[in-house]
Structure 1
Amino acid sequence: MGYDLKAIFDSFVSDSSFAGANPCGSGHIHDTFFINTAEKDKDNYIVQKLNNKVFKNIPELQENIERVTIHMHQKLLLIPGSDVKRECLTVVPAKNHKSWIVDEEGNFWRMFIFIPDNISYDIVDSEDKAFEGGRAIGRFQALLADLPGKPLNETIPSFHDVEKRIDSFISSLMNDPAGRVKETISETDSILKRAEEMKIIQKLGREGKVPVRITHNDTKFNNILFDINGKSLCLIDLDTVMPGYFHSDFGDAIRTGANSAAEDETDLSKVKMDLNLFRAYAEGYLSETRNTLNTIEKEYLAFAPLLMTYEQALRFLADYIEGDKYYRIHNKNHNIQRTRSQLRLLESMEEQYPRMQEIINKLT
C-alpha cells in the first residue's frame, strides 16, 4: 500500500523540505521509512507507521518514549563531550502538539531525527563489541534511574512476569490444545523442575529488595547503534521501555549476544554461552551501572542470563503446545527446536555459573 509520505512529513515540525523517502530497517512490527531532506545542512528523518494491533494504546506508548527521551537529553547535556542528538533518539513533535498523528485511514505515525553514520550488528563477534553493547545498555538504565513522575505505562502487560507465564504454561499442559504435550515430556520436565528457582527475582521484588526500575526489554544486539569507530551510541526501538527489573535487560543481552549458535540451532553440540563475551558484556554494563545497582541486584546479576534463557525456552515451548499461535515458524517443529536450543544454552550457563558469579564479584 502506498502512503503519502510527504503529507506525513509535513504534519511534523521541521525546518527542512521533503526530498524523498525509502523503506528502511528490518523490523517486523512497524513500517519504517527514511526521509531525505533537500537541504544539505539539515537533519534527515525516520518516519514510522505504528502497528496498533501489537501496541493497543499508541498515546501511552508515545508518552513513555517522550518522557524517556526528554529525560535522557537533559542528563546527556550535563555530561561533557556528549553528542546528544547521536546518543539518544530525538522525537519530532507533530503540528498537532502531540508526538504522533493519525492519517485519514486511521494509521498512527511518528517521526525521529535520523542519526547519521551509524552501524548496527546482528552478531557479536568480538569482546570489544560485547563491551560496548553492555556499556550502551548500562548507560541507558543509569540515565533513566532517576526519571521523575509517575511510573511508565506498561506497553505490553506482564511481559517478563515469569510467574504468570509458568502458571499459563501449566494450564496449557492440562488442556493440551494441539495434542502435542506427549511429544514434549523431556522439555516440559526441564521447565517444571526449574520453575521455583526462576521466580526468585520477582520474590525479591515483592520483598522490596530488588527495585522496579526502567528497562528497555528488547536488548538484542541490533537494537544498539554504533558509530563508524565501533563505539556504541544509543539504544533504539523504545516501544517496550517500561517498568521492570534490571536483570531482564542484562540477561536478555547475554542470551542473544553470547550464544555461540543461532536461537533455533538444531545441532545442540554447537550451542553454548561464550564466557569471554559474557565477561566483556558484564564489564561494559557495570562500567555504567556499578553505582546505580544495589547489593542484591549485583548479587543476582550472574543469574539474570539463566532466568531470561529459561523464560524464552518456556515461551517457545508454550507456543508449541498451544499450536504455534505466537511466533512465526518455518516448519512444524520450529518452536520445539527453538525450545531445545534454548534449554541447551541454559544448561551451558548452569555449567559455567560459578565462573559467571566470580566474574561479577570481581567487577563489582
Structure 2
Amino acid sequence: MISVLPYGNGLVNKTFLVTTTKQKYIIQEINKTVFKNPHLVMHNIDLITNHLRNKGNERSLKIIKTKTGRNYLFLKGKYYRCYNYIEGTVCFDKATDINQFYQVGKAVGKFQKDLIDFDVDKLADTIPNFHNTPHRFEQFLEALKEDPMKRAELVRPETRFVLKHYQTTKILEDQIKQNKIPKRVSHNDTKLNNVRFDIETKEAVCLVDLDTVMAGSVLYDFGDAIRIGAASSYEDEPDLSKMTIDLNYFQAFSVGFLETTIDFLTPDEIDNLVNSVKVITLECGIRFLTDFLNGDSYFRIEYPLHNLIRARAQFKLFQEIEKKEKLMKEIINNVASKVMNAQEVNLELLFFIVNFK
C-alpha cells in the first residue's frame, strides 16, 4: 500500500482513495445514522452494478468483495465497502460549460435507459419516503414543534416560506399515488460530482454514488440534476443575489437527457420535468432546514449555520425557477419535439432558436 487519502466532498459517507502498487481503490465508511440497514444498501448496489456491467458498461462501479465473498465489511461496529477506482476519469463540483452539462444529461438518461428492463421491485426501500416531499414537509413540522436545539426562532422567515408552498410539495407525489407517473429505478442523487468524465474525451462515463438507488421516478433524477447543475452558484451560496437558474444549462441538460430517454418516457413524465425541478429544489431546502432544526445530524457541516445557509439558497433558487417556469416548459416542449422528430439535435442551433425566436 502506498497511500490512504481522504477523497471527494460528500456530505454523508467518509471516503478514501487507497493507492497500492498495483491499482487504486475507493473505500468508504457507510454512515449508519443515514443508512439504518447498510446490508440492504449494498444489496441494491450489487444488483444495479451487475445489471449495468452486463449491459456493457465496463467503466462503471464494481464492488470489490471481501475474501469471504461479502460486499461489505463489518469491523468494530462500523460498515465499510470497497469499489474499483475508475481510471482515466474525473468529476467536477460545477459544470464548466454547456457541453459538459449536456454530457451529464446524457449520462443520467443512459442510466435510466440501461435500467428500463430491470425489475424495480427487487430493490429494497433503504430510506423510506426519500423523495416523498409531503413526508419531508411533515418531518419539518415535527422538527419545528420539538425544536430540540432551540433554533425555531432563528428560522421564522424560512418557516413562513415552507408553509406557504405546502401545495407544491404534493405535485409529484399525488400523481405517483394515482399511477400517472410510472415507478422506475431512481438514482436519487444526480448531482454533478456523481458523474465521472473521461479525462481525454471529456465525455461522461458513468454515474457513481449509488447509495440511494431505489424504486422511484425518473423525475427525481432530472429535478435533482438541474437543481445542482443549472443553478448559477453552489447549493450553499450565502449571497442570494448570485442564485438563479441558468436556462442555457437547463436546456443543455434537457437535450442530452431527452436524446436518450424520449423513446420510453411517458407524456406525463415529460409534462412534469419542470415540476420536478421545482419540487426537488423545494424539498432539498426543507431537508436542509429540518436538519438545522434537529442539530445538523444528517448533512455534514463546515460551520454552525451551514444548513440554514443551504436552505436559504435552495428557497431562493425555487423562487427563480418559479419566475422562469413558463420559459422552462417552452424549452422542454421545443427540445422534446425536435428530438422526437430528428433524434439528434445541434446543440448550438437549438440555443439560437430558443433564445432568439
TM-score (normalizing by structure 2):
0.86
Preserved CA contact (<8 Å) 2:110 2:261: yes
Aligned match of 1:216 in 187, 193, 202?
187
Distance 1:348 1:147, change over 3 A: same
Aligned match of 2:73 in 101, 118, 127?
101
Structure-to-structure mapping, 1:111-260, within 5 angstroms: 111-148=82-119, 150-228=121-199, 229-260=201-232
Q: Indicate the SS of the match to 1:45.
A: strand
Determine if the alignment matches structure 1 residue 270 to structure 2 residue 252. Answer: no
CA displacement at 1:143 relative to structure 2 = 0.9
CA displacement at 1:44 relative to structure 2 = 4.4
| Alignment-mate amino acid for residue 17 of structure 2 | F
| Aligned counterpart, 2:327 | 355
Distance 1:94 1:154, change over 3 A: same
Q: Indicate the SS of the match to 2:69.
A: coil
Distance 1:323 1:32, change over 3 A: closer
| Alignment-mate amino acid for residue 113 of structure 2 | A
| Aligned counterpart, 2:266 | 294
Distance 1:326 1:24, change over 3 A: closer
Greater mean deviation of Cα atoms: 330-339 or 310-319: 330-339
| Aligned counterpart, 1:310 | 282
| Aligned counterpart, 2:4 | 22
Structure 1's unaligned 5+ residue stretches are 1-18, 77-83
Q: Indicate the SS of the match to 2:322.
A: helix
Identical amino acids, percent of aligned pairs: 36
CA displacement at 1:196 relative to structure 2 = 1.3
| Aligned counterpart, 1:67 | 47
Aligned match of 1:336 in 290, 308, 311?
308
Q: Indicate the SS of the match to 1:302.
A: helix
TM-score (normalizing by structure 1):
0.84
CA displacement at 1:163 relative to structure 2 = 1.1
Preserved CA contact (<8 Å) 1:35 1:47: no
Greater mean deviation of Cα atoms: 334-343 or 158-167: 334-343
Q: Indicate the SS of the match to 1:243.
A: strand
Preserved CA contact (<8 Å) 2:34 2:298: no
CA displacement at 1:326 relative to structure 2 = 3.5
Preserved CA contact (<8 Å) 1:85 1:115: no
| Aligned counterpart, 1:320 | 292
Count of residues paired in the alignment:
333
Q: Indicate the SS of the match to 2:233.
A: coil
Structure showing greater Rg:
1
| Alignment-mate amino acid for residue 132 of structure 1 | Q
| Aligned counterpart, 1:81 | none
Structure-2 separation of matches of 1:166 and 1:37: 50
Q: Indicate the SS of the match to 2:282.
A: helix
Structure-2 separation of matches of 1:315 and 1:145: 29
Preserved CA contact (<8 Å) 2:15 2:26: no
Distance 1:111 1:330, change over 3 A: closer
Preserved CA contact (<8 Å) 2:33 2:298: no
| Alignment-mate amino acid for residue 342 of structure 1 | Q
CA RMSD after TM alignment: 2.2
CA displacement at 1:251 relative to structure 2 = 0.8
| Alignment-mate amino acid for residue 58 of structure 2 | K
